[in-house]
Amino acid sequence: MSKPALGRGLGALLGGNPPLPPATAPLPAAAAVPDDRERVRRVPLNRVRPSPMQPRKDFSHESLKELADSIREQGIVQPLIVRERGGFYELIAGERRWRASQLLNLPEVPVIVREADDRSVLELALIENLQRENLNALEEALGYQQLAEQFQLTQEQIATKVGKSRAAVANATRLLKLPAPVQSYLRENRLSVGHAKVILGLPDDQHQIIAAERIIKDALNVRQTEGLVAKLLARPARLTNDNSKPKAIVPIDSNVARLEENLRAKFGTKVHLKYAHGKGALEIAFFNDDDLQRILEILNISAD
C-alpha cells in the first residue's frame, strides 16, 4: 500500500494562499478573503518566536543570506504559519523566512494564524523540512524519536504521517544508537549515512569510533568502509569493556566476512554468519518489535 503524499498535511496548512506582494506593498483588503482563518496578517517581527519542537537545528548562514537577498527584492511571497502562545506567535512553518527577516531587520512579517496542538506542530515541522530536504539525517531521526516518545506513536504511524516507509523511519532512528563523536561526524557531513549504517555493524562504541576516525583520516568510501569493518570484526582478539583482558574470537574467512557485512548493510542491524563446508547458520539481531517488523518487511514476510 502506497504512503500518503509527503506534505499532504503541510499542503492543507499552506494551500490556497496566493503569493504575497513585496513587503513594501500594501496588502489586499482583508474582506477579499471570506474565511478569517485564511486571512494574512502583518505582525511585528519581534512578536514571532521559533518553536521549541522545530526538528531542524542547523541553519546555513550562507543559505539564509541568499534568502534574505531574495526577500529584499521580492518580499516574503509565502506567509509564515503561526499559532498564538502566551501573547506571542509561535512558528509552525517558515522558520527560514523568519530568520532571514531578522537579518534584514524587517519591522513586521506576514502570518497566517492557525490553531494547532503540539503533536500537529511537530508533525507539520517534520513534513515541511522533509519535503524541502532541509533536515540532516540526525535531525530527521530525532524528530521521529520525539514523535514516538512524546506522543506514543508507532513507527508505522510515523511513517504514514510523514510519507515515508516504515523501514526508512526505523533505519533513520537507528543512527541515534551511534556514540556521540560519530553522531557529530555525521552531523558535520564528515561521514555519510551510508558510512554510518556500516559502522553500526560493529559491536561497541569503541570500535565504532575507531572506524569513524579511520574513515575520515583515509577518506574511505562506503565499500572500503565495509572492508574495514570486516577486518575489525575478524581480529583475533578484542578488548573487553575494562580494556584489560582480551576476549578471543574466531577469525572469519574474508569471503564470509564480506558476505556478512553485505547482510548487515541490507538489514541495517547486527548479523552473524556461521559457515563451514557449505553448512552453517545465519543470525539476524533485532532489538524490539518494530525492529523485527522492519526486518520481516525487508524479507517480504508477513507476521500474520
**Predicted confidence (pLDDT) per residue in 215-253, tens digit:** 999 999 988 888 888 888 776 444 344 444 444 444 456
Out of 131, 165, 194, pick the residue that ends a domain. Answer: 131
Contact 162, 132 (CB under 8 A): no
Catalytic residue among 95, 123, 139, 260: 95
Backbone φ and ψ for 157, nearest 5 degrees, come out as: -65, -40
Does any domain span residue 104?
A: yes
Same domain for 126 and 223, yes or no, is no
| 83-93 mean pLDDT | 89
Range of the domain at 240: 178-298
pLDDT by residue (tens digit) across 108-161? 999 989 888 888 887 777 777 666 666 788 888 888 888 888 778 888 888 887
Contact 31, 113 (CB under 8 A): no
Active site residue 62: no
Please provide the average confidence, as pLDDT, over all residues in the chain: 77
Q: Which residues make Cβ contacts (< 8 Å) with residue 43, sequence separation at least 6? A: 89, 108, 109, 111
Residue with cell 525487508: 298
**CATH (domain of 93):** 3.90.1530.10
Same domain for 199 and 264, yes or no, is yes
The SS3 call for residue 34 is coil
Does any domain span residue 72?
A: yes
Single pTM value for the model: 0.54
Q: What's the total number of domains in the chain?
A: 2
| 1-7 mean pLDDT | 44
> 256-293: b or e for each residue (b if 16 or more CB lie within 10 Å)?
bbebbbebbbebbbbbebeeeeeeeeeebebeeebbeb
Kindly report the length of the chain.
304
Same domain for 198 and 294, yes or no, is yes
pLDDT > 90? residue 191:
yes
Does any domain span residue 303?
A: no
Residue with cell 532571514: 100
